[in-house]
Chains A and B, each alone.
Chain A
Amino acid sequence: MLDLDMTPYAAFVWPAWGVSALVLAALAARAVIASRKWKRELERLEKDQSATSDAADSNRPQVAQSAVGPKE
């Protein structure tokens, strides 16, 4: 049976649980937000980099595609 009546210790039990919940939620939120931020930034830079290297490749002379096979 759920017991939410903490009398006479409500002033101790609820802050202990409340602050624990807040801190754990903040830790989780911070971890997820930071993870997404750096993931996005890495994807953007990798896309930029592959575009730059593709552009650089297209400027170089190349033998017939059939001679070197498909690009991986």
Chain B
Amino acid sequence: MSSDRQAQPEAHAPLGPPQLSVGALGWMRANLFNSWYNAILTVAASWLILVAGWNFFRWSLLDAAFGLTPDTCKGIDGACWSFIADMWPLFIVGTYPFEERWRPYLCLIVLGIMTLGLFFGAVRGNKIYRYAWAIAPVVVFLVIRGVPVFGLETVDTSFWGGLVLTLILSIVGIVVSFPIGILLALGRRSTSMPIVKALCVGYIELIRGVPLITVLFMASVMLPLFFPSGFDLDKVLRAQIGIIMFAAAYVAEVVRGGLQAIPRGQQEAAASLGLNFWQQMVLVIMPQALRIVIPPLVNTAIALFKDTSLVTIIGLFDLLAIASLASANPDWLGKIIEAYVFTAAIYWIFCFGMSRYSMYLEQRFKSGQT
């Protein structure tokens, strides 16, 4: 009996894994059809992707018109990209004088190249590169505003618009609000100066509690009342002041988070070395605290970039306002969807790029490779 059991089974070539558990089929079974409701979800999602994707593809490419004149869009079902091909300079530089448009273009190209440098460690560490970023806002402002001495005609801010205005408002906003935010954060954390602390807390909580549009209304309507009559404050400058006031409160909270993460011992050690308060801050605390807050700071910058679109409401011609303006052009009447899709794409590229950069930084800080 026992010998029966121990009889050698027939020699058998090793079997391959079951067909349904490896390869593309196996992956689909594990990830798309692993239960009945997941199968239903997969079918529904595929249907959604196919219908939406196909319609978008048809609208944006298949049935779309790619030309330069309004005639090319006659009898076209899809998107009229001719409109964008014809009007894109308006989206980029707004109503900036035609002969002078090379100035904002030049600024955009140079800034774009400088941004690429961020991705190369060797360039990023370079001192000249850092100084270039430090003076960039001023140079850009001068080139776009114009310096008659250098033969650059002055261009009034009422002609500024489009992506260039959006970029100026957000870059200047974040750069100027940064030091103000640091001061507010330090004031809020102060233990020896209760009055200063109360003022800082009051300011931060007031600004964070109200929507940006009320701050912008305040800057555009109330600010002129605060100055002696006859003192004319530029419209763009007023919006810029509102944006800076708003951003400073948010930057302050971000910086405060960084300061809280630095152990007390750091400041006590710095103090015991005989450094005074500002030396402690500049040499010991801030370099550590600011490095932690770079990712959340980039998020603040993204939010600010999106928020600059609100200046449309107080009558500036930023990228979003230009989209409405361009589609009101009699030649291109009703091309509003194209205008918004194009504008959304520009906003999206900037915001998505920044958010990926912040993730990349976060990853680097996590692995401690800085």
Does A pair with B?
Answer: no
Identify the B interface with A (CB < 8 A): none
